[in-house]
Structure 1
Amino acid sequence: MRSFVFRITSMASNAAHHATGWAAGLIAAALVAQALHTSLEHLGSLLAFCAAVAGSTAPDWMEVAWWTRARRLWITHRTATHWGIGWVAVLVLSYQALGHAHLWAPLLFGFACGGLMHLLADWPNPLGVPWIWGRHSLNLWKSGRCDLVVVILAWAAACWLVRPLWAATATRVVGWFAHVAR
């Protein structure tokens, strides 16, 4: 059973999905921190981060029939759980709910960030991802190859998206040091 589950979750490779999931967690946490501006900001960011890491492997583990002893797939791989419109819809709706300080919103937003990162990691290989209708593939390399490229791109995107938050924090820290030095 373990080898079967590992085989279906290793399309881009399980390690690559986890590594890109941490990048998705950083993105989700930063976006939640910028969107909330309430006392829930830190808790919301933490929840979004954890949910994104879990969501980064969700499109694969959601296909496994965990309620049966055999743990086989209950739907074909890369169909409903890899559908781009569904993940984007959850992302947009949960982002809109962040403004209303619902505690479930950062969880759902982070989970959707992780799920979308999973789809982006699967997109370059020949099997592709069903973004709208039918599968689309960038057809750049075979599954499990070039994982390092996918991970580097995910982390580069995370660092680029998070930089405004880092810049604001750095400005506050420098200002504090200038104030203390007087």
Structure 2
Amino acid sequence: MASNKAHHATGWAAAAIAVAVIARHGGEAWYWEGVLGFVAALFGSTAPDWVEVAWWSRSRRLWITHRSWTHWGVAWIGLLVGAYHALGTYWLAAPAFGFACGGVMHLLADWPNPLGVPWIAGRHSLKLWKSGRCDLIVVAASWLIAFVVSDDFWFNGQHSVAVLHHLRMATVRF
């Protein structure tokens, strides 16, 4: 599991991705839909963990096992795809899309550690590092994805291509 700070940092990246996609595919009120999607992505980035807590009881214990149904990849990706197809049609699609972006980013942040994430049927782990370690890598990767997606939607990918060109030229010199 990535740390709480890492989930919040990757949530901001997911929010940037959500706004870029909503702006491109949203309806006439894409600005307000983008704001709703942004806020929903921030909540979605921590949702797989806080949905497990029994907020209605005094003990605030988990009411279901950690990383079970709330971390199930099929549900989060299904919500993401369904909301994406409804963008521009229903105003609730934008916050649903943002929430799903945050949730999927949460799963991607949890995936590298040994406990893994139940993507389809059973848990799968990349087994790269233990929980809470290498958060900087997870956050940097999420922001790199946010940069590429946002650049593609806002600027037709011209900055990503320029960065790749500069990296290629830098490797040729060595």
Q: TM-score, normalised by structure 1?
A: 0.84
Q: Which consecutive aligned stretches of 4+ in structure 1 deviate over 3 angstroms post-superposition?
A: none
In the alignment, the residues of structure 2 paired with residue 164 and residue 91 of structure 1 have an alpha-carbon distance, to the nearest angstrom, of 19
Cα-to-partner distance string for 1:12-71 (whole Å, 9 max, x where unaligned): 1000000000000000010010001x3211111111111001100000000000010100
2:31 to 42, 47, 51: 42
- What is the match of residue 51 of structure 1? 40
Mark the runs of 5 or more structure 1 residues left unpaired by the alignment: 1-10, 171-182
In the alignment, the residues of structure 1 paired with residue 151 and residue 2 of structure 2 have an alpha-carbon distance, to the nearest angstrom, of 27
| Identical counterparts, % of pairs | 61
Letter in 2 for 1:110: G
1:105 to 88, 93, 96: 93
- What is the match of residue 32 of structure 1? 22
Letter in 1 for 2:23: A
Aligned residues of 2:45 and 2:105 also touching (Cα < 8 A): yes
Is 1:63 the counterpart of 2:52? The answer is yes
In the alignment, the residues of structure 2 paired with residue 113 and residue 164 of structure 1 have an alpha-carbon distance, to the nearest angstrom, of 17
The RMSD of aligned alpha carbons is 1.2
Counterparts in 2 of 1:116-155, with a 5 A limit?
A: 116-155=104-143
Mark the runs of 5 or more structure 2 residues left unpaired by the alignment: 159-174
Q: TM-score, normalised by structure 2?
A: 0.87
Aligned length: 157
Is 1:79 the counterpart of 2:71? The answer is no
1:19 to 1, 9, 28: 9
In the alignment, the residues of structure 2 paired with residue 27 and residue 146 of structure 1 have an alpha-carbon distance, to the nearest angstrom, of 22
3-state DSSP of counterpart to 1:44: helix
| Cα displacement (A) at 1:134 | 0.8
Cα-to-partner distance string for 1:93-122 (whole Å, 9 max, x where unaligned): 11111131x121101100000000000000
